[in-house]
Amino acid sequence: MAAVNLAADYGWGPYTLVYIFIIVVCVTAGGILISMLTTKMREQSALSKRQYRFETWWAIGTAIVLVWLWVISYNWMPPVAFSAIASTPESSIQVVNVTAGQWFWLMNKVSQGPLQPGNSSQVVLTAGEPVKFIAHSVDVNHGFGVFAGPSDGAPILFQMQVIPKLDNVFYYTFKQPGVYMVRCLEYCGYSHPYMTSSITVIPQVAGTNTNTNGTSSSKTIVVPTSAPASNLPSPSSGLIFAESRAGSHILSALYPPALAGMTHLPNIVKGGLS
Amino acid sequence: MLREERYPKEPPALPQYDISPELKKLVLMFMGAALINFLIAGGLAMGMRIMQEDVPVLGVNTTEQNVLWYAFLTAHGQTMMFGVLSMNTMWFSYYATSKWGRKPLSGITVAKASFWIMEAAIILILLSTLFGFGAGWYNLMPLTFLPGQPDVTWGTGAAATFLTADVLVGVSLTLFCIVIITTVLRGKIAVGTQRRQNADADEVHEHVIHLENLPASVRWASLLGITGWFPRKWRLATPHVSILVVAAFVTAMVQIVGNPGLFVQLAHGFQSIQDPTTASNWLLTKDAWWFFAHPIVYFPLLIFLGGLYFFVPRYGKENSPYNKWVYRPWPFYFAFSVLVFSHHVFMDIPNPVWLQMLSQTATLGIVWPSGLTIITILTFVWRSKISWNITSRFFMAGLAGWAFGGFQGAQTGMWGTDMYLHNTMSIPGHIHMILLLGPLLFAFGVFYAIFPDLTKKHMSKTLGEIHFWMTIFGGFGFALLFNIIGTEGAIRREAVMPDAWGWAMPWLLFFALIVGIAQFLFVYNFARAAKRKPTAEEIAEYNSLHRDPQSMGTAEAA
Ligand SMILES: [Cu+2]
């Protein structure tokens, strides 16, 4: 299904492209430098070098590569990548509200109503179904970064900036069930390193969605392939934020009461909470 | 061991035109101040490395230590960017415009003011650090105005101090641009005109002209390097200014276009201090900052690329009178430098689509002239009998660092790859590669090359060699390590690094220490040479290089 191929699941992934670039750099820089620095002619006039026309061919070659990179990147641009979601029925999209603040993440599925005190601030989502994240910041810029594993050491899956007073929207479809770490990727104050949370993705029940290869309609359950169950946080673990480690302010209870009472927030940007 | 050797071995092929003693003094003042700022900013970086080693400076994992870390981070970034890299560009641009334009600087008083205002800004930045200010070198509003807990972190006064410092930075940069642009445009300036000699070789005829006497289109085509793209017949008819004058002029033009971005951001900031309820459009302030701050990343670079184009062929004994490829990248540097603030706003989804498209185009666009510069410099070296003095060593190492960092820039300039790299440690890796191991190495090279012209004295070669190798080893070491852990998903601006990357921290400290120690050797070398009297041999050499100080000298315009 087309809508699955959204956002960070296109392109070459975090490692492949980086390594290709590194290899290209090392090989070309190393090769050129070695040949330049070791080959010395006894007599060499500038004019006879000119006839090699390095620059002309190099200029044409690099221009072609750059145009090619631009073209393949076009589909990765968020508006272009997200446009595929337009063909997906609204009902099959999981809409998640994300609220970022110093220093916490609150997440809730819109279909389950507003977040209530005592509820978990983390979401449980279904693999294979598109997710629409709508993120807001109650104070400063944050970065909503989702990692491909339950803890540090996993590569980034996708990210977006969470700018105060704006709707920051990102579409993504989790393919694998498991636990995904959420980390703030934009420096947002002295407890920024502790601003983490997680998203739990459970397997899709096959046959209940459009995700079939057309050969079977049996209700087999997809077995999670990552993150053993023991790694799952308890559903009521609530906020993961810095206070215990950094000794910062105390967010005594879950919101909305807590948000209203956040005295550490200065008198700016109270807007942005939807 | 520390004998004063004639260094570089062969006298630098500088124009014979002698710049004014006043300008020499100003350049030396800039150099000295930039060095002091470099040591301070480096010391701040060392402090960050030590704290990330989980050394309890104020207590590991405490608010206080984290606040201190972010204050160091902020001051390190701005002091390096403005107090070191920008100052380097200022001294070399002032020097180069006068030396290769063969004319006094218009407004030496204004140039001096730009120095003092910039240094005052650096002092204010460091002062705000003492108050705990730590909103990042990019001054990411509204964090600037969020003091958190007033007893442990910054208050409005610290934010105001920092914003005032940045106003001074903007003023200083603007004065710099005005001095360079007016110096180039007003009065006579040295130009070369290519003369067809025979089928194989042209010679360049050197003279001084009033640029105002040229048609405006020709004048601007010449100053922005566009003439390099003219058909041969037209090129032969057009006077060209020295590549260093082109570089200084493009630097000033790019920055004067970018500076309003800084002032827009700061105006929003001061408005927010006055009345916090008039919360700004923070996306606009961010875009405005980067409209200024991407040019400021190119600001340290361009003039030194001009230096490479001038010095490298001379060390390689290439005597091409005119090379169109030297001029060809410059109009592209000019156009793309002002449009290429992409890396910083790609992850801001609410930005308009056209801006994102433009940014990606400009980022990939600026790779192109950069690639041209690299290949042209390499053709100068290839099969040449280059003399490997300190300057040419620093230049070639800087070229490698800049090329590698540039490739990483292309990665962050594409949305699909920036997704995995934005705000990871690979960005500090990229920026240290492209700035510390690019323009800063170029600046060291120029420093050694023009020091005899400024002081009639040479610096110690032995100390210079040690400085070079230690800087390269340590610099590439930690920049590459930044990249590796960043690709693995380590996030930048983390006062406390997650345990997953604990293994890298001692290595980062080790490499940073190597770079740091090398700079003390450099300062010692500089101070020692500055203090002593020139030898008879040095005076004789200086005089022979300035036989006819106000003349056009030998062919140097290309
Ligand atoms: Cu945050």
| Number of domains comprising chain B | 1
Cβ contacts of A76 on chain B, cutoff 8 Å: 414-416, 419
Query: Are B383 and A49 an interchain contact pair (Cβ–Cβ within 8 Å)?
Result: yes
When pLDDT is averaged across residues A92-114 and rounded to a whole number, the result is 85
Give CA–CA dist B486/B408, Å, rounded. 12
- Number of neighbours of residue B537 by Cβ within 10 angstroms: 11
Is B6 inside any structural domain? no
> Both tokens of residue B337?
């430098």
Top pLDDT among B342 and A71 is at A71
Amino acid A210: pLDDT? 43
Q: What is the residue-averaged pLDDT of chain B?
A: 86
- The pLDDT value given to residue B196: 66
Tell me, what's the pLDDT at A149? Answer: 85
Does the structure show a pLDDT above 80 at B11?
no
**Does residue B9 lie within any of the structural domains?**
no
Q: Tell me the two tokens of residue B302.
A: 């361009």
Q: Which of B62, B269, B76, B279 is nearest to B149 (CA)?
A: B62
Q: In what side-by-side order are the strands of the sheet with A104-109?
A: A104-109, A94-101, A130-137, A168-173
SS3 per-residue string spanning B387-432: CCCHHHHHHHHHHHHHHHHHHHHHHHCCHHHHHHHCCECHHHHHHH
Q: How far apart are CA B487 and CA B52, in angstroms?
A: 19
Per-residue confidence (pLDDT) for residue B247, from 0 to 100:
95
User: Which of A36, A134, A137, A172 to mutate to test binding with chain B, by most B CBs within 10 Å of its CB?
Assistant: A36
Kindly provide the ipTM of the predicted complex, given to two decimals.
0.87
pLDDT in tens, B324-358: 889 999 999 999 888 877 667 788 888 888 888 88
Look at B254 and A267; give whichever has higher pLDDT: B254
Closest to B416 in 3D by CA, of A72, A167, A85: A72
A195-A129-B424 Cα angle (round to 5): 30
pLDDT, average across residues B380-386: 76
* pLDDT for residue A243: 33
Using DSSP's 3-state secondary structure scheme, residue B327 falls into: helix
Q: Cα separation of B290 and B118, whole Å? A: 20
Look at residues B355, B348, B71 and name the one whose alpha carbon lies nearest to residue A137: B348
Does residue B8 have a cis bond before it (omega within 30 degrees)? yes
The number of residues making up chain B comes to 558
Q: Is residue B13 part of a domain?
A: no
* Average pLDDT over every residue of A142-161: 88
Mean pLDDT value of segment B163-183 = 96
Q: Are the CB atoms for B143 and A162 separated by under 8 Å? A: no
Max mean pLDDT among B72-76, B102-106, B399-403, B525-529 falls in: B72-76
- Is B122 domain-assigned? yes
- Residue ranges and CATH numbers for the domains of chain A are 7-36+48-82 (no CATH), 90-271 (2.60.40.420)
pLDDT, averaged across chain A: 67
Residue B390 has pLDDT above 90, yes or no: no
How far, in Å, is the centroid of ligand 1 from the Cα of B136?
A: 13
Closest CA to A246 of B212, B67, B262: B67
Strand order in the sheet with B202-210: B202-210, B188-196, B240-241
Of A66, A153, A246, the CB nearest to B63: A246
Q: Prior bond to A256 cis, omega within 30? A: yes
In terms of Cβ atoms closer than 10 Å to its own Cβ (0-12, 13-18, 19+), residue A89 is exposed
A contact test, residue of B72, B146, B426 with most A CBs within 10 A: B146
Pick from A147-156, B112-121, B194-203, B208-217 the range whose average pLDDT is largest: B112-121
Task: Give the pLDDT score at A14.
Answer: 55
| Nearest-Cα residue of chain A relative to residue B489 | A155
What is the pLDDT at residue B9? Answer: 52
Domain presence at residue B2: no
Kindly list the residues from chain B whose CB atom is less than 8 angstroms away from the CB atom of residue A158: 419
Lowest mean pLDDT among A32-46, A66-80, B197-211, B473-487: A32-46
- Measure the CA–CA gap between B206 and B557, rounded to whole angstroms: 7
Q: What is the pLDDT of residue A7?
A: 37
For residue B204, tell me if it sits in a domain.
yes
How far apart (Å, rounded) are the C-alpha atoms in residues A183 and A100? 11
Residue bearing the bigger pLDDT, B209 or B150: B209
CA B178 to mean position of chain CA atoms: 18
- pLDDT tens track for B298-325: 899 999 999 999 988 888 776 666 788 8
Inform me whether the pLDDT recorded for B416 exceeds 50. yes
> B247: domain CATH number?
1.20.210.10
pLDDT at A99: 86
In what helix (H) or strand (E) does residue B452 lie, and over which residues does it extend? helix B439-455
Is residue B124 one of the residues assigned to a domain? yes
Q: Has residue B295 been placed in a domain?
A: yes
Task: Give the range of the structural domain holding residue B167, as residue numbers without chain letter.
Answer: 19-557
